[in-house]
Amino acid sequence: MQIVSFRPNGSTEPLRAGFSDNGSVIASSDLGYPDTVRELLTHHSHELTTVLDKARAALATGESATDLAAVHLGPPVPDPDKILCMGLNYLEHIEEASAAVTEFPPVFAKFRNSLIGAADTILMPGISTDIDYEAELAIVIGTRCKNVTVEDALDHVAGYAVFNDVSARDIQFRSHQWTSGKMLDTFGPMGPGITPKEEISDVQALRIQARVNGVTVQDSNTSKMIWPVAETISYLSAIITLEPGDIIATGTPAGVGLAQDPPLWLKANDIVEIEIEGLGLLHNNVKAPQISGAATS
């Protein structure tokens, strides 16, 4: 079961909250719940298990359900209040980047303009040639928290998703602040949906992979995080209040394009796949720079 944001194929109508399982999807509003994922989490995270049970029952009957192949999946939370990103959270990635382990992790932001769905198109910006991939686990916050302890942190999680922290390295390294190379349009593929935390027995034991044109370039495990999920949430909540629907990208393992010899920069018509055990697959194509037009496919 996943919480998704979807619309009919070929439609331009707003994305709707829904639930997908076994090849079918049902709208949240058909079950009497809000029509956006952010509103759903804001008002019903405290009873999410009940909501999901109701969705499973409805999908089992087939009433009001739609074939998943007939819909387009957008980013699971299209309108988060915040997208917070952890940097240098895997030791092997720190080593390949010739960086140093620091007492506190680098933290930067993306914005909702970067978010695209699991099968949408990554648009190359005309101002960058050094475009990189980063396979990451994303946390989706379910309930508001501030100054939460490590022990209580996971109580505030709605679920997890697959994330690609696409990065324009030539822009990123213009200064010590990385955000400018991270916040570009379409540079945050996410999905396919939010897998509820109850369906993941151990979030710190998930295989995480990236492939470019079918070739595996990253293959690691979330067990290698320096700052595990609970510690990440606790740390960030001491800095800023976390709200329902907020997204936290937890950093990437070794194997990024920057570290290849020669560097493996993404180019037009490449296919980038990010896969995390139990959470699903992103399959995004890369498109040449556009002077004007829509930001997503």
CATH of the domain at 249: 3.90.850.10
Q: Residue 167 belongs to what domain range? A: 83-287
Residue 182 tokens read as 């991270």
The predicted structure's pLDDT at residue 290: 66
Q: Are residues 184 and 250 in the same domain?
A: yes
Task: Please give the chain's pLDDT, 297 residues, in tens.
Answer: 999 999 999 999 999 999 999 999 999 999 999 999 999 999 999 999 999 999 999 999 988 899 999 999 999 999 999 999 999 999 999 999 989 899 999 999 999 999 999 999 999 999 999 999 999 999 999 999 999 999 999 999 999 999 999 999 999 999 888 999 999 999 999 999 999 999 999 999 999 999 999 999 999 999 999 999 999 999 999 999 999 999 999 999 999 999 999 999 999 999 999 999 999 999 999 999 866 555 544
Cα 125 to Cα 9, 113, 289: the distances in Å are 26, 13, 5
Do 163 and 219 lie in one domain? The reply is yes
| pLDDT recorded at residue 176 | 83
20 occurs within a structural domain:
yes
Alpha carbon distance, N-terminus to C-terminus of the chain: 25
Query: Can you give the pTM of this predicted structure?
Result: 0.96
Do 95 and 48 share a structural domain? no
Query: Cα(275)–Cα(48) distance, rounded to whole angstroms?
Result: 25
Residues whose CB falls within 8 Å of the CB of residue 297, separated by 6 or more in sequence, listed in order: 116, 120, 121, 287
Residues 256 and 140 in one domain: yes
Instruction: Quote the number of domains for the chain.
Output: 2
Does one domain contain both 62 and 140? no
pLDDT number for residue 293: 55
pLDDT of residue 297: 47
pLDDT of residue 227: 98
* 130 found inside a domain: yes
Residue 292 inside a domain? The answer is no
**All residues at 6 or more sequence positions from 192 whose CB lies less than 8 Å from its CB, including other chains:** 2, 4, 20, 73, 76, 117, 118, 161, 162, 280, 281, 282
- Residues 93 and 47 placed together within one structural domain of the fold: no
Contact 88, 250 (CB under 8 A): no
Confidence (pLDDT) at 177: 86
Residue 46 has a pLDDT of 96
Residue 294 lies in a domain: no
The answer on 28 and 92 residing in a single domain is no
Rounded distance between C-alpha atoms, residue 106 and residue 195, angstroms:
26
For residue 247, how many other CB atoms are within 10 A of its CB?
25
From residue 98, how far is each of 6, 63, 88, 129, 169 by CA, in Å? 41, 55, 11, 22, 15
State the pLDDT at residue 286. Answer: 99
- Of 50, 73, 96, the domain-final residue: 73
pLDDT of residue 292: 59
221 Rama class: left (phi>0) / alpha (psi -120 to 50) / beta:
beta
